[in-house]
Structure 1
Amino acid sequence: MTRALVVIDMQRAFDDLSFWGQTTNPQCEANVAALADAWASRGEPVVVVRHDSVSPGSPLAPGSPGNELVAVVAGREPALRVVKSVNSAFYGDPDLHGWLQEQGIGELVICGIQTNMCVETTARMAGNLGYDVTVALDATRTFDLTTDVAGVGPVTRSAAELMLTTALELQAGGFARIATTASLVG
Structure 2
Amino acid sequence: MMNIFSRKNKLEDELFNMKFTAKTLLRNAKKCEKNQVAQKAKLKKVIEQGNMEGAKIYAQNVIREKNQALSYLQMASRMDAVAARVQTAISMGQLKANMSGVVKGMDTVMESMNVEKISQTMDQFEKHFEDMDVRSAYMEGAMSSGTSLSTPADQVDDLIQMVADENGLKIAGQLDSAGLVGTESPNYEG
- Which range, TM-score by smaller chain? under 0.3
TM-score for both structures, normalised by structure 1: 0.24
TM-score for both structures, normalised by structure 2: 0.24
More helix by share: 2
More strand by share: 1
Q: Which protein has greater RCO, CA pairs closer than 8 Å, 6+ apart?
A: 2
